[in-house]
Amino acid sequence: MSFKVIESRENKTFKDLLKLKKGDAKEGLFIVEGKDLVDEAKKACLIKALIVVDGTKCPFVDYPIYGLKQGLYRELSSYQSLPEVMAVCQKKYDDISSLGEKVIYLDYVQDPGNVGTMIRTALSFQYSGFMLSLDSCSLYNSKVVQSSKGALFHLPIARGELSELKERGYHIFLTTLDGIDEATLDQLPKPFVLVFGNEGQGVSKKNMDLGEKLRIEMSGIDSLNVAIAAGIFMYRFRH
């Protein structure tokens, strides 16, 4: 274990940490906040260093530790109430071949809260993999990390085109407003992909002909938040 005290905003290490907070790529690293998320990152063996307020006890001792003066720690954190600990973590990169037989695909989904929530839901309903289109929100946006509650550490997650899954023999099911009522189906044939589209525009035109359309029967309103809709579909076809 090594312990480094940082007292100045001009410190190079602190400037590098701020860049990570903003999402700037640096050697494939990102920051997680709070002991729960740090615990999950530790289980996944992705921690590179820990960050605490100088003078406080660090909950783990097996890593390099940065001790920040409280003002610097507050500046680095995105939480209103300061977390007990933060960590610098290594980004994980999963190959398409690791996604398994029950996959969730996000097509240009932009809201980080939605992305994180859907990753968390996919893990809880035992989906085997998750994939983001190239134009979807970054997996390592701080709000994605926080709203996933650590699920992103434990679910294979890749990035690429839906057509790549089609070429691998997956059955593609596109969630739309005018498809087959999901309630009429007993189950989906494996391997399958459930596709959820952009918050405002839905599934993109380039992907619309790659599979079969599914919808949720609704009354009184014509659409649902994409994370809510995803939760319904994922629960429905969890087995």
Alpha-carbon 185 to chain mean position: 29
The CATH number given to 96-236 is: 3.40.1280.10
Residue 152, classed as helix, strand or coil, is helix
Query: Mean pLDDT across the stretch 47-63?
Result: 87
pLDDT at 24: 67
Which residues of the chain does CATH 3.40.1280.10 include?
96-236
Q: Look up the CATH superfamily of 3-90.
A: Ribosomal protein L30/S12 (3.30.1330.30)
- What are phi and psi for residue 125, nearest 5 degrees? -100, 20
Distances, alpha carbon 73 to alpha carbons 12, 55, 99, 132, in Å: 15, 12, 37, 32
Mean pLDDT score of the chain, rounded to an integer?
Answer: 93
- What are phi and psi for residue 59, nearest 5 degrees? -70, -20
DSSP state of 79: -
Residue 198 binned pLDDT confidence (cut-offs 50, 70, 90)? very high
Return left, alpha or beta for 32; rule: phi > 0 is left, psi -120 to 50 is alpha, else beta.
Answer: beta
pLDDT at 1: 61
